[in-house]
Amino acid sequence: MEIGWYLRFAKADAIEAKVSLKGAAQVRHDENIFPDWSFAFEEHEDHVVARLTRKNPLFNKEDT
């Protein structure tokens, strides 16, 4: 799974993705590539929920 495009061009300060168990390792690897984002993972029986949040938000919540 390539999440790099989502992180590079995101117009949001947080992204949540439901990832297959097979794809979760790749998302965890991307944590080392994108130091401006914090990664949190919630494991379930058949998938992983990845929550990606900008460490320094770019967007003001009042603007959305």
**pLDDT tens readout for residues 18-49:** 999 999 999 999 999 999 999 999 999 999 99
The residues near 42 (Cβ < 8 Å, ≥ 6 apart) are 48, 49, 51
- Res. 61 pLDDT band, cuts 50 70 90: low
Mean pLDDT, rounded, of the chain:
90
As a dihedral over the C-alpha atoms of residue 15, residue 16, residue 22, residue 24, rounded to 10 degrees, the angle is 60
DSSP structural state of residue 38: E
Question: Averaged over 12-18, what is the pLDDT?
Answer: 94
Q: What is the pLDDT of residue 34?
A: 93
Q: What is the pLDDT of residue 42?
A: 97
Tokens 């799974």 locate to 1
Give the residue, 62 or 50, on which the prediction is more confident: 50
